[in-house]
Amino acid sequence: MPFRFVHTADIHLDSPLRSLALRNSELAELIGGSTRQALVAIVDLCLEEQVDALVIAGDLYDGDQTSMKTARFLASQLQRLHEAGIAVYVIRGNHDALSRITQELVLPPSVKIFGARAEVVESAGKGLSVAMHGMSFSKPQAPDGLLPRYKSPVPDAVNIGIMHTSLAGAPGHDVYAPCNVADLHAAGFDYWALGHIHQRTHHQGARTVIMPGMPQGRDINEAGAKTISLVTIADDRSIAVEERLTSVAQFERVSVHLGGVVEWRDAAAAIEAALLAQRERTASPHLVARLRLTGETALAWKIRRDIDLMQAEAEQRSERIGNTWIEKLEVEVQPPAATRGTTADPVSELRQLMRDDILGRSDFRDEISDMVRDLLADLPPESRHFAGDDQSGFDRFIDGLLVRGTEDISARMSAAERDDS
């Protein structure tokens, strides 16, 4: 009979909320509980499909967890699998290495947590002989590759390797047990169950090598539908992989073009239309949208000044759509070219002065850059790539930051001047 298993990784159970949801208590509750709901969905799938095993390739937790509520929740879900006769194979990732629960929690006997030395667990299964290979790290750093430490494939068995690795490197991820995909294909294993990188990738080659991504995104930098792999290994050892949806909330960037719009209600209607279109394309139950407003519009100054009112308009329409949430508004609208920079407009003159003189000063730019670097240093590595993944990307971020700041200041001054007139 075939051997079937679910492969997932990077659940980051009970990951702390990032800043996105703090403005909206209902959204905070949704995102705060989404990793738990994703784990429940994974267990439900295992039970519905009557698989033989669940493979978790690292980062089940999110760091220095101390809550026993997390422990009890995890134990209850794994007990459901134990009672159904489904084995669970887990390796510790870099985030798990920080967790006290990883060290202290007593789990059902059907759960195998691999240790710091490479191990092989063999099972006869329902016909196929299966060998699970894995190893964990007790420390959050793993600068050296792990592949040479894995034991050789077991002859005449289906060999499944479980590894938490950054492969050749990925933006926004720590280097962790690096290795080359080509070496994995050449290692003689039938299937490599990887973890660590949060974007799903099927690495084509002689063997089946899959990075499943994470089952639930936690912020806009983890956008898109999130899934796991349902793997079937047939009696002839052929492998079929199905991608199954697990994310409860799906983050998406949504662009709204407001070029030529002159009425506030028309701008709000354009936002609603963009949200409706994205809602139809969204596979997950909930859509969490970051709106980006663009184009030349006479409302540019007003939108920048009254962004809180526009946010309220967007939230009202998202509620009307249902299961749709606004994470943030990014304002990149500009006033029509014909209305910019007239000499009779003192605000426009000040705006041009800021652009030409102040923003061009190297000492001012250096000071802003240092402030951003200090901020980045206080953030975890996976939250830093909004400011670019290299020097050129960082420079572009600083350029945009300075320009947007100039536009916001001049917009508020211009709007205030018009209100006084």
Q: Are strands 201-203 and 53-57 parallel, antiparallel or unpaired?
A: unpaired
Task: Please say if the pLDDT value at position 358 is more than 70.
Answer: no
How high is the pLDDT of residue 384?
Answer: 73
With a cut of 50, say whether residue 175 has pLDDT above it.
yes
5 pLDDT above the threshold of 90: yes
Most confident of 102-116, 304-318, 333-347: 304-318
pLDDT digits 0-9 by tens, 317-339: 999 999 999 999 999 998 887 66
pLDDT at 235 over 60: yes
What is the band of 100 on the pLDDT scale with cuts at 50, 70, 90? low
Greatest extent of the chain over all pairs of C-alpha atoms, in Å: 86
Band the pLDDT of 98: cuts 50, 70, 90: very low
Q: What are phi and psi of 227, to 5 degrees?
A: -140, 175
Fill in the amino acid letter for 166. Answer: S
pLDDT surpasses 70 at 64? no
The pLDDT of residue 345 = 61
Across the range 45-57, mean pLDDT stands at 97
- Please choose, from the candidates 184, 186, 195, 133, the residue with its C-alpha nearest in 3D space to the C-alpha of residue 158: 133
Q: pTM for this one?
A: 0.82
When pLDDT is cut at 50, 70 and 90, the band that residue 21 belongs to is very low
In the structure, what pLDDT confidence band is assigned to residue 67 with cuts at 50, 70 and 90? confident
Span of 73-87, 180-194, 253-267, 365-379 with lowest mean pLDDT: 365-379
Give 142's strand partners: 176
Q: pLDDT tens digit string along 375-398?
A: 877 776 666 777 777 788 788 888
**How large is the average pLDDT for residues 198-203?**
94
Is the per-residue pLDDT at 24 higher than 70? yes
**pLDDT category of residue 342 using cuts at 50, 70 and 90:** low
Domains of the chain: 3-245 (3.60.21.10), 248-340 (3.50.80), 341-421 (no CATH)
SS in 3 state form for 188-232? CCCEEEEECCCCCEEECCCCEEEECCCCCCCCHHHCCCCEEEEEE
* pLDDT at residue 341 is higher than 60: no
In this prediction, residue 61 has a pLDDT band, given cuts at 50, 70 and 90, of: confident
Closest CA to 165 of 201, 216, 125, 189: 201
Length of the chain in terms of residues written: 421
Residue 245 is predicted with a pLDDT of: 98
> Who wins on pLDDT, 109 or 394?
109
Average pLDDT value over all residues in the chain: 86
Pull the structure tokens for residue 217: 């995104």
Tens-digit pLDDT profile for residues 129-163: 999 999 987 666 666 788 999 999 999 999 999 99
**How confident is the model at residue 375, as a pLDDT?**
82
In this prediction, residues 44-49 reach a mean pLDDT of: 98
